Every structure is written in C-alpha cells, then in structure tokens.
Structure 1
Amino acid sequence: MKHVYVVGTADTKGPELAYLADRIADTGLPVVLVDVGTRVPTVKVDVPAREVATYHPDGAGAVLSGDDRGAAVAAMGAAFARFIAGRRDIAGIIGIGGGGGTSIVTAGMRGLPYGLPKLMVSTLASGDVGPFVDISDIIMMPAVTDFAGLNRLSRTILHNAAQAISGMARAAYHESDGQRSVGLTMFGVTTPCVTAIVEQLRQTHDCMVFHATGVGGRTMEKLVDDRVLSGVLDITTTEVCDLLVGGVLPATEARLDAIARTGVPYVGSAGALDMVNFWAPDTVPAGFAGRLFYHHNANVTLMRTTPDECRRIGAWIGRKLSACNGPVRFLIPERGVSALDIEGGAFFDPEADTVLFAAIEEAFQATADRRIERLPLHINDPAFAKAAADAFLSII
C-alpha cells in the first residue's frame, strides 16, 4: 500500500503537522508523518528525526550534534534527500515549513520522479522559489500566516493543501499510448522551426518542447539521464551563449554531458546563438555598454554576440559534441540562426555567423556516426525543419 508522506519539523511545527496528517487521513489515504526537526518533537511521529539523520553520509552525528542551526538544516536536508529517495511506497509527499523546513523538505522532493505529487506549503512561497523548486515539479503553496500555532486561516490553508495532495495521490496519471518521447529545445526566435518539426514527428513520437532558458536545457538532460527521452532535437543551443558571455539564462558546464553519458540519438543546431539574454535594460552590466541590443519586451533585453564570442561559443559546442559517442547530427543553418539573424533583421551579421560555424567545425571531431552538415537555409525555413526531422528519423 502506498502512503502520503507528511514532512516537517515536528519540534516547531508539531500541531500543524498533526492537523495536516489528520485531514489527509480523513480522505481515506494512509499517512506517514516524518520529522525532520533537530530537537524533541511535540507530537507523535511515524519516522523520527534521528532515523532520518542516519541517512546522512557521515551518520546521525553530522546532523544532530552541534549548535550551528544553519549547518544542521543543511545536513538534515542531505539526510532527508537520501531517506526519501529510498522509499518505494510514496503516493504523494507534502511538507510544511518556514525557511529551514522548506529548505530541508524540498531538498528531498527535488530528487523524486517527475509526476509524483509534491506539494510544499511554505511561508516563502510568494517570493523567489527558484532555489527550492529548481528543475523539479514541486508545487509551492503560500502558508499566508506563519506556522506559530493553528488559527482559522492556517486551518483553512492546511485543509485545502490536504485535499490537494489527496486528490493528486488518489487519481495518479498513467500513460498508455506507448509512444517514444523526444526532447526539443525552443526559443521564441526559433519557434517556427521547432513547431514544424513537432508537426512532422507527432504521429510517431511524444514531443516534449523545453524553453531554452537554462532551466529548460537542464530539465531536458535530466530526463535523458532518467531514460524518459529516447532522443533529442537540440535545435536551440542558446543557453551556451549566456553561460560563456554572462547572460541571465545560462546553461551549466554540464550542458550536453547527458548526451555523452547516455549515447541518446541527438540532432542539434545553432539556434539563437546570436544572442545573450538580460532582463530590463538597466540590468545590463556596464561592461557591455555600446553593444548591439534588441528590446524583446520591457523586461527582456537581447545582446548580439560578437565574432570573438561566437568563436568561443562554437569551440565549446564542438568540443562537447565530440565527447558524444552515440549518433549525432549537427545542422548548420547558413542563412541565419534566429528570427533576428536574417537579412534585414536586427541581429543579421554574416561575419559573426561565419566565425561561429567555422569554430564549431574546427572543434568538432567527426566520425561515421557523428557528423556536421551545412544547409543553405535559414533556421526557420520549413526546409530546414524537414531536414532536422529527417535526420532524427534516420538515427532514432
């Protein structure tokens, strides 16, 4: 039988945890109450904090000894992540917490599979939740009041949270069509290309499109590592620009490593390698004064990559792809890499593109199954989309 795991610091949030657990139990679902506090709990729990602490790589003493609360919270987060990853009876997981509790519980939630219901009721949920959610599918629910004893509002919020997690746990989604899933990367400036590829593949493949915002690429590659995706059409590699130049939507140095590790069939391109992303104009670092900018909207500012930056970007991509031993096809759109990089467009710069393409080719180590192909097309030309889809079908 699977259970709903209710998690929090029972030393400081005992009444709220007990109330939440009771409301979930009222729906007929079995509950496991887990304490991740560092002091004596104020309510009865099913899994005590000391048991969770034993999952820390250095043992329980690394979590429960010492007076440094910050260190204890970090250590308990690491222990809880290892504890919860080993459970095989989770129908859903819900946590409550302030700053410390939210950090601990979400550290464990982030490691759980996509689709498993995860709900965090937090006093921090109305702010920047990026560090807690990261690339997971955690649902953050504002607590509204602090967790300092039950009141009519906190009971309402916790009741609603209980109904939400119970509904998700009771009516879990089950995939049935059996189509293989493929990942695609897209930006607004490459949307026509990716949309056309999806149209060509949707009859035979489950197409998952990821916004190339740094988080999108990381999420896609996690799904590659998890063997959820059976192939990738990485049309929009723009996250590398922000990584190397200093934009706000960067990849990490691990970009493309999942492709190398798994050998998953890969078709890539130079989509949006003409731009670096910043927020509103006044957020652009002073060091970029005088550069060519395009104001996408009031909150997004795009900066054209220079030939020197394109050389670095191309070399980085070429080296990374050379470590991939699965089938690789990288398609170069010679007439432009984005909707802005087209004759008459704001970022049209044949010199920069020439340097970019040459740098990719120079660093790329071709083999019988790892190839680059130049196409005399713009990336958003329907013929380019067809070529990308055909290349993918030839290697999948």
Structure 2
Amino acid sequence: MRAAYVCGTFDTKSRELFFLRQSLERLGLRVVTVDLATSGKPSPASVHPREVARHHPQGESAVFSDDRGSATGAMALAFESFIRTRRDLGGIISAGGSGGTSMATQGMRALPIGVPKVMVSTMASGDTRPYVGPSDICMMYSVTDVQGIHRISEAVLGNAANALAGMIAHPPVVASTSKPALGLTMFGVTTPCVQMLTKRLEDAYDCLVFHATGVGGQSMEKLADSGLLAGVIDVTTTEIADEIGGGVLSAGPTRLDVFARHALPYVGSCGALDMINFGAWDTVPERFRARKLYRHNPTVTLMRTTADECRAIGEFIAAKLNAMRGPVRFLIPEGGVSAIDRPGQPFHDPEADRALFTAIEQNFRTGAERRLLRLPLHINDEAFADALAAAWHEVSRPAANIRRA
C-alpha cells in the first residue's frame, strides 16, 4: 500500500506534523514521517534528517552547518534527491513557515504531475510562485502561525489531511483519450497561429496549450521531463527575450534544457521575440523609460527588443537547439514574429528581426534530423501554421517509441 509522507522540521513543528500523521492514520493510511530539521537535535520521525542529508551530492556534511540559510538550502537539495528514490510514496504533505515551506516544496516539485502534494504554509497567502513553480502543489494558508494545536490549526490541518487522503484514495480518472499529448506555447500576439495549428492537429493529438508567461514554459517542460508529452511545437519562445532583456516573464536560463535530457521531437519558432514584458506602465524600470514601449493593457507593458538583444536571444536559442537530442525543426517567420511586428504596427523593426534571424542561422548546426527553415511569411499567416504542422509530421515519424500521455 502506498504511503502518505508527512515531511517537515520535527524539531520545531513536531506537534503539528504528528497531528497530520494521526489524522491520516485515522483515515486508514500508512504514514511515513520525514524530518528535514537541520538543528542536529534527536528526531522522532521515521526518517532521520541524516538519512535525508546523505542524498546531498556532497554528503551529509554539506547539510549540517552553523549557517541556517545554507543549511536549509542544502537540506532542500538533499530532500529533492531523497524523495525521488521513494517507491512507496502515494502523496506528500507538510506544514511550516518560510524555511520549512521552501525545503518541503523543493522536494514536492521533483515529483511527477498527478502525485498528490499539499503544503500548509504561512506563506500561502501571497506570491506562491517560488514554492509551486510549474508543479501541481496544493497550497493551503495556515491562517495562524504553524505553532501549536488549537481550534484554528486543528481545522486547517485536519482539512489538509482529509484533502491528501481523498487524493490518495481517489486518484484522478485516467483520461479517456488515447491520443498522444502535444505541448504548444502561445501568447496573445501569436494566438491566431496556435489556434490554426491546433485545428490541424487535434484529430490526432491531445493539444495542450501553455501561456508563455514564464511559469507556462516551465510547466510544459515539467510535463516533458515527466514523460507526459510526445513532443513540443514551441511556437512562442518569448520567455527567452525576458531572460535576456530583464523582463518579468522569464522561464529562467534552463529554458529548452529538457530537450537535451530527453530525445523528444521539437519544432520551434520565434513567437513574440520582439518583446520584453513588464507590469503596469509605472513599473517599467527607469533605465528602460526611453525605449520603445507599448501599453498592451493596464497591467502589461511591452518593450521592443533591440538588435543587440535579438542577437543575444538568437545565440541563446541556437546553443539550446544544438544540444537537443531528438529531431529538430526551427522555423523563422521573416514577415514578423508577433501581431504587432508587421508593417504599420508599433513593433515593426526589420533590422532587429534580421539580427535575430541571422544569429540563429549562423550558430545553428544542421544535420540529417536537424533543419532550420526561413520562410517569407508572418507568424500568424495561415501558411506558416501549415508549415509548422508539416514540420511536426516530419519530426514525429521516428518517435513511435516515445512514451505517450
């Protein structure tokens, strides 16, 4: 029988964590308690902190130090490695403050999508992106501090335990479709392209569209890493522009690295690489106020990428494409990369686009299963959607052995 894992810092949160254990056991679940404390105190948990710490790449000595910040960071890394080794894990739950939340959720994020994950935290009523990331962690606000068992904590922790037990006892119904899952990336300014593309492919594929807002690209790659995608048509690589140019919607420097780990078919393009994203107009950093800016809506301001930024973006993309293990097609829309990058539109800048396209072309390594196509089309032209679909059919033919969703 798969177990419910109760994880946290038992030196400071033992009452609350044991309350979770007892609640789960009353519901008939087998429970494993895992201690993430870095204080060195004796542990009452099933799994001692030192056992977790041994999974750190540099061993347990890297975890236990006098500096609390580095110790919790090292324990989080050790826990991430530890949790990957557990073959009886049916679900995981934790409760804690900022430190405990950071450690527990790093391990939770390492688990595949669909494995039940519940985090009761004082940090849940705020920006939870650092904790949840691209994963399906259920964050529950603790209301009071996670300190003591009283009428409020009993209600919150009891509900959390019941939620985890329900998820373990009643796993989601397996999707009725037998079609392989295909990941696609979209932005508002590339929506026509992706909509036309999905219409061409939806009869044969379960098309999963991800909003390229940073966490969207991360979520798509999390599914790819979990073996839940047959491949990707990465129409909208705009998150890379934010990474290079300092915008707010970056997916981080590891964007596209998953395809160097897994030989998945990949079709990509330059969608929305003409823009770097910020929040409302008054949130744009002062150093960018003289740049070409565009009010997309009251909460989003766009900044046009320069030729130098486009060159750096192109070099970044080419390096990632060169590292990919599977078949690759990358399509360049010479007529413009977004709805506002065409003649008469605010971000039309042929010089910047040429810098982008040339950087990709000059640095890309071609091969039998690796091709770059430059097309005299706009990204939202129907013919460009046709070309993307044709490229996908080319790269997906040898992918019969790829695990399907």
TM-score, reference length from structure 1? 0.91
Kept in 2, the 8 Å contact 1:35–1:41? The answer is no
Aligned-partner Cα distance in 2 for 1:324–1:136 = 23
Paired position in structure 1 for 2:11: 11
DSSP 3-state at the match of 2:105: helix
Instruction: Give the 3 Å change call, closer, same or farther, for CA 380–265 of structure 1 in structure 2.
Output: same
Asked whether 1:362 is paired with 2:365, we answer no
Output the amino acid matched with 2:7: V
Q: 1:326 offset after TM fit, Å?
A: 3.1
DSSP 3-state at the match of 1:107: helix
Alignment of 1:281-296 (within 5 A): 281-296=281-296
Alignment of 1:1-396 (within 5 A): 1-37=1-37, 38=39, 40=41, 44-64=44-64, 66-173=65-172, 174-175=174-175, 177-324=177-324, 326-396=326-396
- What is the root-mean-square deviation of aligned Cα atoms in Å? 2.2
DSSP 3-state at the match of 2:91: strand
Aligned-partner Cα distance in 1 for 2:356–2:53 = 51
Output the amino acid matched with 1:360: I
Instruction: Give the 3 Å change call, closer, same or farther, for CA 185–105 of structure 1 in structure 2.
Output: same
Q: 1:281 offset after TM fit, Å?
A: 2.0
Kept in 2, the 8 Å contact 1:327–1:395? The answer is yes
- Deviation string 1:285-316 (CA, Å, 9 cap, x unpaired) is 22223211111122211011223322332233
Aligned-partner Cα distance in 2 for 1:205–1:132 = 31
Output the amino acid matched with 1:72: A
Worse overlay, 89-98 or 132-141: 132-141
Q: 1:232 offset after TM fit, Å?
A: 1.2
Worse overlay, 99-108 or 146-155: 99-108
Q: How many pairs are equivalent?
A: 394
**Structure 2 unaligned residues grouped into runs of 5+:** 397-405
Kept in 2, the 8 Å contact 1:14–1:41? The answer is no
**Structure 1 unaligned residues grouped into runs of 5+:** none
Aligned-partner Cα distance in 2 for 1:308–1:59 = 43
Output the amino acid matched with 2:285: P
Output the amino acid matched with 1:201: L
Aligned-partner Cα distance in 2 for 1:62–1:331 = 46
Q: 1:144 offset after TM fit, Å?
A: 0.6
Instruction: Give the 3 Å change call, closer, same or farther, for CA 67–290 of structure 1 in structure 2.
Output: closer
Kept in 1, the 8 Å contact 2:135–2:222? The answer is no
Q: 1:277 offset after TM fit, Å?
A: 0.9
DSSP 3-state at the match of 1:18: helix
Q: 1:184 offset after TM fit, Å?
A: 1.1
Aligned-partner Cα distance in 2 for 1:162–1:209 = 32
TM-score, reference length from structure 2? 0.90
